[in-house]
């Protein structure tokens, strides 16, 4: 199966509500997403997605596309390696890797369609359904908005939720505690509560805050310090009883090797849109398994649904309400969770996703 063409579609939804966490200085506005379409000589089209919007499009169109055209679409390991070396000098982390990730996802979607099977079946399933948690709890929410959102997830059957702490780059400690206390009281003792500082604290501050957070029975403490401060993450992990979750800002199996080997992660959180696509995500999951660590993927939930079903050391899958809001516009249909459990449709090939032509007409920007 030969790659005949690669195109991109960038959709922008400026009307959607914004969000803010510990280290986003201002409330963002809208959503945007870069989609990749890999066309084969057999009429099949693979769909992928990643971050970076129009900037990622430039990397895909100008750097990655020329080296992939004419190659066998089923030889994904070779294609991944070709892309990796093509961006060697311009980004083994960040934007260029987000572009690579999007193309890799599209190649796996195409391969599953070629074999006429859902992606999770192609990968080799461990299970056909996975648990999810409701994720949000943005720092710009009022206390009432925060409690309403978190309880809304519970009302949908999710027995775990996640909220933000570290507000204002860690400068609102008492407010962090008050907001957490309100959520714990509202959702009750039987619901797991995860907290995410989005790099907002310093190591000793995070350790001190964790002592207060512990009494609210916290399931994990996510990104307590700057993601690049691996020594700080390790120091926090050693000093507190709450498990440390991290990895969404890490790239490639090599980055996760260092993160894990240095004791900086109790729960590993690879992001398929950043880490290097499905190819590298699965390797990271296996690496975590070798260290007897659980995996809890970050964002990109419609892709992670399939990967999670093929991951024996899965802990739980993130389900972001803000992403769901955009997905309802982007796609004609998608699998939805029921009572806190999520399963891919066994009758839809690949990722089971198709862009809605109406969304493309109304929200596409630029050319690709």
Q: Which residues are catalytic?
A: 164, 298
Contact yes or no for 48/114 (Cβ under 8 A): no
Determine the 3-state secondary structure of 322 from DSSP: helix
CA distances from 87 to 11, 64, 80, 276, 360 (A): 24, 8, 11, 12, 29
Q: What is the DSSP letter of 292?
A: T
CA distances from 59 to 47, 63, 91, 248, 273 (A): 17, 5, 10, 21, 15
- Of 220, 139, 206, nearest in space to 178 by CA: 139
- Of 331, 314, 313, 315, nearest in space to 323 by CA: 331
Alpha helices per DSSP H over the chain: 53-59, 65-68, 76-86, 95-114, 119-123, 143-155, 167-170, 173-187, 203-213, 230-239, 252-261, 277-290, 301-309, 321-330, 357-363
Q: Under the phi-then-psi rule, with left for phi > 0, alpha for psi from -120 to 50, and beta for the rest, what region is 362?
A: alpha
- Of 126, 193, 183, 138, nearest in space to 162 by CA: 193
Distance CA 135, CA 149 (A): 9
Site of tokens 């990622």: 56
Query: Which residues partner with 161 through β-bridges?
Result: 134, 193
Contact yes or no for 314/308 (Cβ under 8 A): yes
How many residues does the structure list for the chain? 368
């Amino acid at each position: 199966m030969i790659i005949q063409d690669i195109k991109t579609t960038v959709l922008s939804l400026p009307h959607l509500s914004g969000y803010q966490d510990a280290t986003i200085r201002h409330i963002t506005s809208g959503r945007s997403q870069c989609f990749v379409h890999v066309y084969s000589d057999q009429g099949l089209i693979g769909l992928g997605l990643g971050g970076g919007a129009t900037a990622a499009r430039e990397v895909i169109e100008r750097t990655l596309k020329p080296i992939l055209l004419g190659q066998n679409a089923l030889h994904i390991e070779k294609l991944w390696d070709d892309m990796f070396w093509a961006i060697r000098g311009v980004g083994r982390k960040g934007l260029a890797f987000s572009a690579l990730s999007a193309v890799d996802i599209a190649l796996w979607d195409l391969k599953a369609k070629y074999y006429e099977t859902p992606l999770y079946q192609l990968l080799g399933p461990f299970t056909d359904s996975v648990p999810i948690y409701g994720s949000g709890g943005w720092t710009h929410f009022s206390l009432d908005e925060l409690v309403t959102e978190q309880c809304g997830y519970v009302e949908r059957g999710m027995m775990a939720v996640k909220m933000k702490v570290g507000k204002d780059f860690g400068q609102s400690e008492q407010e962090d505690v008050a907001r957490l206390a309100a959520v714990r009281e509202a959702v009750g003792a039987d619901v797991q509560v995860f907290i995410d500082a989005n790099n907002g604290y310093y190591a000793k501050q995070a350790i001190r805050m964790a002592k207060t957070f512990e009494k609210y029975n916290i399931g994990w403490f996510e990104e307590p310090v700057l993601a690049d401060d691996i020594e700080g993450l390790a120091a926090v992990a050693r000093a507190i009883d709450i498990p440390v979750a991290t990895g969404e800002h890490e790239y490639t199996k090599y980055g996760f090797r260092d993160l894990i080997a240095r004791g900086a992660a109790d729960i590993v959180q690879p992001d398929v849109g950043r880490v290097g696509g499905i190819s590298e995500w699965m390797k990271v999951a296996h690496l975590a398994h070798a260290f007897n660590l659980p995996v809890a993927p970050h964002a990109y939930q419609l892709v992670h649904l399939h990967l999670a079903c093929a991951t024996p050391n899965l802990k739980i899958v993130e389900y972001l309400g803000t992403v769901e809001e955009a997905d309802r516009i982007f796609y004609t249909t998608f699998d939805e969770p029921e009572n806190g459990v999520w399963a891919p449709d066994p009758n839809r090939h690949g990722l089971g996703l198709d862009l809605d032509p109406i969304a493309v007409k109304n929200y596409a920007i630029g050319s690709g």
